[in-house]
Amino acid sequence: MIVELTDQNFETEVLQSRIPVLVDFWAPWCGPCQMVGPVIEELATEYQDKIKVGKLNVDENPQTAVKYGVMGIPTVILFKEGKEVARKIGLEGKEGYVKLISNF
Amino acid sequence: MLYDLIIIGAGPAGLTASIYASRYQIKHLLIGSQLGGTMVWASMIENYPGFDLITGVDLAQKMVAQVKKLGGEIKNTSVLEIKKKQDSFELRTEDDEFYETKALIIATGTQRQKLNIPGEAKYLGKGVSYCSTCDGAFFKEKTVAVVGGSNAAVTSALHLAGLAQKVYLIYRRRPLRADPIWVERLEKEPKIEVIYETNVVEILGDEQKVSGIKLDKPYQDNQQLFVDGLFIEIGGKPGSELAQSLGVDLDEKGFIKVKPEMSTNVAGIFAAGDVANASGELQQVITAAAEGALASNSVYRYLKGVGK
């Protein structure tokens, strides 16, 4: 399952989460983001016991994007215990994201 | 598992090769880390027949859907290593799986060329971008620069002019090498200023994000330009390392040398798309697709032993 993240629920869903959260920063106009989308959905299913997966539309939720200095998408950030622990900027194959998750 | 054909690369060349391989009923697998390949970065494609205007993503998704509909199998990962065996090739992927195949089509395209200047890596995603369609919106009413003189650079500048307050296009040569139709649109766009015969030598910032760029010669008496973003569109370098490791001949620029039917100097290895030197400087979706079709046809003949 993928959580729809917003400026409003980011604190409770991500920063206060008891398990790590993988956040996909995306926007509808971004081509590569649309290719990342299905991969993120697969990860959400395959790693559902280990992590939470969320998508944040930077167009509708600019505050969170600005707060984490996201000026390039797709950007995928892994949060653990309220802090950023890893970040991937740009388009990655599925294995790239799997590595990101398995390192934590 | 032994395949008759493995296609490496999931851009238009690889996807088309799979479509043809399915129709030839060749037992095959497509392995690619970036579905759609380079075309995914194109904001507007106006020269692929059948579509007067389509985004690169839409075209990529249509091709992927067509591949799957025909029964083509896609593995979304990278190939790390290929070993030549007696009558086959063994591939190892990033997730440590092994695959064996009788024939290979290498359609690994190009990787984005970097400027290799100070600040480029540091400010990636913080003002430095290789994708204007992705990141243009972060620069609404701001000042940005685009580096390059090709179709990709000029279309990026045009796209950014619709968002930013001011766009510099910086090209190391003169004149622009983009298609005349794009140059004409560029000249009509008052927000774009072209700086010719100039190189960007450093990207400056305040640690958090880009604040400017340094040029190799003054422009209007100033060697520094204040910009909030820099978009790098200077083409690609061929992803031909795997081919090279198998003894495949490359040309002087590193592209795979192919014969008109897309075969290489190594039996069983074929190449198609931007990584191959078949269409010269023309790196288009349509040339990649055509080369993918040719390559699959050649593999079909190769597997059947035609012309041996």
Mean pLDDT of B254-260: 96
Say whether A34 sits in a helix, a strand or coil.
helix
Query: What are the tokens at A103?
Result: 């390192």
Q: pLDDT grade, residue B18 (50/70/90)?
A: very high
Per-residue pLDDT, B41: 83
> Please, which pLDDT band fits residue B84 given cuts at 50, 70 and 90?
very high
Q: DSSP characters for B201-255?
A: EEEEE-SSSEEEEEEEEEETTEEEEE-SEEEE---EEE--HHHHHTT--B-TTSP
Q: Does A44 touch chain B (CB under 8 A)?
A: no
A74: chain B residues, CB-CB within 8 Å: 134
Q: Provide the token pair at A56.
A: 């944040």
pLDDT at B42: 82
Under 8 Å between Cβ of B66 and B21: no
Question: CA A88 to CA A73: how far, in whole Å?
Answer: 10
Query: Are B126 and A69 inside 8 Å of each other by CB?
Result: yes
Lowest mean pLDDT among B80-84, B168-172, B281-285: B281-285
Cross-chain Cβ contact A69/B208 below 8 Å = yes
Nearest-angstrom CA–CA distance, B44 and B56: 6
Phi, psi for B210 (deg, rounded to 5)? -65, 140
Asked whether residue B281 carries a pLDDT value surpassing 80, the answer given is: no
Average pLDDT, chain B: 95
| Cα–Cα dist A93/B286, whole Å | 24
pLDDT in tens, B102-143: 999 999 999 889 999 999 999 999 999 998 988 999 999 999
- Angstroms from B308 CA to nearest CA on chain A: 38
> Would you tell me which residues 137-166 of chain B have a C-beta closer than 8 angstroms to some C-beta of chain A?
137-138
Contact B229, B265 (CB under 8 A): no
Task: Measure the CA dihedral B112/A23/B212/B215, to 10°.
Answer: -10
Cβ pair A59:B137 closer than 8 A = yes
**Residue B224: per-residue pLDDT:** 97
Tell me, yes or no, if B206 comes closer than 8 A to chain A by beta carbon: no
Contact A95 B127 (CB under 8 A): no
- Which pLDDT score is estimated for B306? 66
- Helices of type H across B24-127: 56-69
Q: Is residue A99 part of a domain?
A: no
CB–CB contacts below 8 A, A to B: 92
Structurally, how many domains does chain A consist of?
A: 1
- Show the domains of chain B with their CATH numbers: 2-111+236-304 (3.50.50.60), 128-232 (3.50.50.60)
Cα–Cα dist B89/B4, whole Å: 10
Is B131 catalytic? The answer is yes
Q: Which residues of A touch B33 (CB under 8 A)?
A: 92-96
Residue B124 and residue A28: Cα distance in Å, rounded?
A: 21
- Predicted local distance difference test score (pLDDT) of residue A38: 85
Of all residues in chain B, the percent with pLDDT exceeding 70 is: 99
Q: Do B76 and A93 touch (CB under 8 A)?
A: yes
pLDDT at B308 over 80: no
A73-98 mean pLDDT: 91
What does the pLDDT read at residue A71?
93
| Chain A CB within 8 Å of residue B111 CB | no
On the question of pLDDT at A24 being above 60, the answer is yes
CATH code where residue A83 lies: 3.40.30.10
pLDDT tens digits for range A46-73: 999 999 999 999 999 999 999 999 999 9
| Residue A9 forms part of a structural domain | yes
Q: Higher confidence at residue B295 or residue A97? A: B295
User: Is residue A97 in a domain?
Assistant: no
Tell me the two tokens of residue B85: 């065996």
**Residue B99: pLDDT above 60?**
yes
The residue segments making up the domain with residue A57 are 2-90
- Interface pTM, i.e. ipTM: 0.84
For position B161, what pLDDT does the model report? Answer: 97
